Structure 1
Amino acid sequence: MRRAVTAAAAALLLPAALTACGGDGTQQRAGGPVEILMWHGQEDTSAKSIERLVATYNQTHTDVKVQITSGGVTADGMLPKITAALTSDAHPDIAYLYGSWAPNIARNPKTADLTPYIKDPAVKWDDFWAGERATVTVGGKVIGFPAVVDNMVVLYNKKLLAKAGLEPPSKDWTWDDFRAMSKRATDAQKGVFGTTWPISGGEEAVWGLWPLVWQAGGEILTADNKKAAFNSEAGRRSLDLLRAMAVDDKSVYLDSSPAEKGQKLFESGRLAFFLSGPWVLPDLQAAGVDYGVVQLPGTAGNHETISGPDTWTVFEHDERRVKASAAFLAWLTAPEQQLQWMKDTGSLPIRASISQQPGYGDYLKKYPGIDVISGNLANAKRVRPPTTSYPRISSFVADAIARTLLGRADAKSALDEAAAKTDAALAVPGS
């Protein structure tokens, strides 16, 4: 059954009358729909879901046609891809970007400002969580719509824990518990490890460290974002814990693959614990994994986690395409479409009103443990620093983590070196 254009979309659309071929390859025909291009950066289940939603939109709307592609990269590689495309006008209208990249991408003059469009009452901007709205708003400029909100939890393999004689962790467990249980579950002869940690240099290695630092009373940067703070005693103790597990206990599988093997190892019954988020639940169910979900281990009762709101960022070609992009995103992020996305992917609600949608209870039943992850949003109290230098800072810390876990450096010297590089990067004007 065809759906009517939503009020939000109708308010944003203009008659299509573009005649040019965009630099991104979209064909704008006189009298035809406004054509926009989206790079979604998704994989597997998520890619199929967004493609189905876009197909529905194109079938039920005549004023805008959305062309969709992965962009030739996963979400991890989207920032350099977009940065290069912006230099040659080969950029899409919409791209999926991590929220931590927002300060960097907002500086580009080709990044659109959607502030006039989100003021439309039909968009219901205040229905998005405050942290999401803050992520897409940089210096008063709204650069896109919230795409995903998540947080980090611990998934555990029930069968492996039982085989090791371990009870499932309680919600008030500690990092000492995590270390002890990981060591006990490790069986090197059978290729079974307590947990895994990426050491390929990406953000995946880093964002797992920040909750430990925060729980221990540390910070990533100083309050003015001008100096590194992660090389504090809190940072050293946090990385030392991981070093002890990897080097002394040998309970950590050190994942050097850029593609990251952690999820596959967990699915195949070779990891007792896997630090991840809601996006993996559909794959775990498809693989038949008997898993449980628990909040992160805590420090002195603090179970702070990390959340990474991601964005559908909009880029300018001309005014009509910006308005068409805003109209499409108003539709895509509406509760009805979001609930379908959530059912397909196991993502968390990006709007408060989604929990009132018919079928929300079915979503909770479909993904055992999703209620734990949703509740864990209360433990997501801080975000990564809103600085354009964050991608470089992340790479410095990722290198420090890798060298420490490989036993090539101690935690203090590795973090101090990363801090010196961070300070130099932050000293550059405009960072």
Structure 2
Amino acid sequence: MSRALTATQGRPIRRALAAVTGLALLATGCGSPAGSEQASGPVRITVWDGQSDAAAKSIAKLVARFNQAHPDIKVILESGAATADGMLPKLTAALTSDAYPDIAYLYGSWAPNLARNPKTADLTQYAKDPAVGWADFWASEREAATVEGKVIGFPAVVDNMVVLYNKKLLAKAGIEAPKPDWTWDDFRAIAKKTTDAGSGTFGTTWAISGGEEAVWGLWPLVWQAGGDVLSPDRKKAVFNSAAGQQALGLLRGMAIDDKSLYLDSSPAEKGQKLFESGRLGMFLAGPWVLPDLQAAKVDYGVAQLPGTNGNHETVSGPDNWVVFKHDDRRVKAATTFLTWLTAAEQQLEWMKDTGSLPIRESITKLPGYQDYLTKYPGIEVISTNLANAKRVRPPTTRYPRVSAFVAEAIAQTLLGKADPKTALDEAAAKADAALAVPGS
């Protein structure tokens, strides 16, 4: 979702005003006018940040610093939606009126939907400005922010999936820490050995709640085995290939035969809580959970994903700061703010506050980068693992529906209600029907 940093904020619904003077106040979340009052004085722009906890505090601190140093621009920070997951529907509703923000934090997988909206700004020319340093962003981030040649935003967060393991549980089971060349057979064996039904301890966990959190962990197994999600033209589902069946078959064996897989049906992600409480041997996640693990004082280690025939490909979910059009002044102000926010110095501070990965290569060369690595044990493994993030999820507006069908197949299989082939074939048939709809 990108998974990246999930958030938990809310925002009240604004009441409509009947008076003509009141109508001028229906603007971008802060009550500022969308037109004439912005012709002079500081340009006011609204940002829906979608962050919580340490991330929310960090972005607020940075915005305050920007406002102080840039008196010609006033950035108004709002949460935008109850969660980062809910940002797209909230924004979609706002775009039907003038109550939409200038900038919003949005998952990279939503870019195809956003690029089609005429209120989404085209930043292609801005990205060519040397001050932006577009080439300094990782390639996967640039790809996630660009749809058919149109740049719609700036990279916000980059992540990737790794395996976090509980050092104490592995040692108790007489298991050595995962080696760089470990395989999925090794992963299954470790999960089985660290499972203890008597104490309610499981080897690992998998979501069956029906969301993307159930699906995105499956794609690395499929890719490693030579498969893919969709055909190159994105018109047909191919995840039900032998590679897909092998991937889901592994998980089914762990869930049904080994009983080493905790099936997490909670949208609140109980699996992470189990890991924090010492009742989960391994946890597939990324950098966004490290602050939580440190707060819970978990003695954890980090390893890249197990591999298939030496291929340790992982999945990454870059997120974007997407810019929306009100007028030219505000678009320009938005790009000025984002150029500053995504600069290496500000990003290193954000990374130290949140445990996020470097979105620019130049960040790794700053003097304070070593302090960041020291603060978050294991983060260097995750950062290095960006080299194994070779593909992004299919850039199609129909991906959310495809994902939902696959999530259903995963749940049915892990609950023992279907075999991998049958479940994936049914999901592929539904996906093909969705992909056949014009405009997908």
Q: Structures share a fold, TM > 0.5?
A: yes
1:260 aligned partner = 269
1:413 aligned partner = 422
1:227 aligned partner = 236
Total equivalences in the alignment: 413
- Give the conservation status (yes or no) of the 8 Å contact 2:47–2:104: yes
Structure 1: distance between partners of 2:247 and 2:264:
19
Structure 2: distance between partners of 1:371 and 1:51:
26
Answering whether residue 408 of structure 2 is matched by residue 399 of structure 1, we say yes
Q: How does 1:355-394 map to 2 (within 5 A)?
A: 355-394=364-403
Q: Match for 2:117 among 108, 111, 122?
A: 108
1:55 aligned partner = 64
Structure 2: distance between partners of 1:56 and 1:413:
56
Structure 1: distance between partners of 2:252 and 2:88:
30
1:180 aligned partner = 189
Q: How does 1:6-21 map to 2 (within 5 A)?
A: 21=25
Structure 1: distance between partners of 2:340 and 2:61:
14
- Give the conservation status (yes or no) of the 8 Å contact 2:29–2:101: no
1:142 aligned partner = 151
Answering whether residue 274 of structure 2 is matched by residue 276 of structure 1, we say no
> Match of 2:426, as an amino acid?
E
1:298 aligned partner = 307
Deviation at 1:87, TM superposition (A): 1.8
Structure 2: distance between partners of 1:147 and 1:210:
23
2:349 aligned partner = 340
Answering whether residue 81 of structure 2 is matched by residue 65 of structure 1, we say no
2:222 aligned partner = 213
CA RMSD across the alignment: 1.4
3-state SS of paired residue (2:80): coil
Deviation at 1:22, TM superposition (A): 4.9
1:8 aligned partner = none
Moved over 3 A (4+): 19-22, 28-32
TM-score by length of 2: 0.91
Structure 1: distance between partners of 2:87 and 2:412:
26
3-state SS of paired residue (1:240): helix
> Match of 2:91, as an amino acid?
I
Answering whether residue 433 of structure 2 is matched by residue 424 of structure 1, we say yes
Q: CA-to-partner distance for each residue in 1:29-50, whole Å, 9 max, x for gaps?
A: 4643211111111222222211
Answering whether residue 203 of structure 2 is matched by residue 199 of structure 1, we say no
Structure 2: distance between partners of 1:260 and 1:335:
32
Structure 1: distance between partners of 2:335 and 2:159:
23
Q: Match for 1:23 among 21, 27, 32?
A: 27
2:127 aligned partner = 118
3-state SS of paired residue (2:131): helix
- Give the conservation status (yes or no) of the 8 Å contact 2:287–2:355: yes
- Give the conservation status (yes or no) of the 8 Å contact 1:39–1:70: yes
> Match of 2:49, as an amino acid?
H
Structure 2: distance between partners of 1:45 and 1:20:
35
- Give the conservation status (yes or no) of the 8 Å contact 2:29–2:100: no
TM-score by length of 1: 0.93
Q: CA-to-partner distance for each residue in 1:114-154, whole Å, 9 max, x for gaps?
A: 12222221111111112211211112211000011111000
- Give the conservation status (yes or no) of the 8 Å contact 1:22–1:317: no
> Match of 2:405, as an amino acid?
F
Structure 2: distance between partners of 1:252 and 1:151:
22
Answering whether residue 36 of structure 2 is matched by residue 36 of structure 1, we say no
Structure 1: distance between partners of 2:330 and 2:25:
12
Structure 1 residue ranges without an equivalent (≥5): 1-18
Q: Match for 1:318 among 324, 327, 336?
A: 327
> Match of 1:123, as an amino acid?
V
- Give the conservation status (yes or no) of the 8 Å contact 1:207–1:306: yes
Q: CA-to-partner distance for each residue in 1:212-236, whole Å, 9 max, x for gaps?
A: 0011110101111110000001101
1:97 aligned partner = 106
Answering whether residue 253 of structure 2 is matched by residue 244 of structure 1, we say yes
Structure 2: distance between partners of 1:97 and 1:72:
11
- Give the conservation status (yes or no) of the 8 Å contact 1:197–1:205: yes
Structure 1: distance between partners of 2:120 and 2:293:
37
Structure 2 residue ranges without an equivalent (≥5): 1-22
Q: Match for 2:173 among 147, 164, 168?
A: 164
Deviation at 1:247, TM superposition (A): 1.5
3-state SS of paired residue (2:179): coil
Structure 2: distance between partners of 1:70 and 1:408:
40
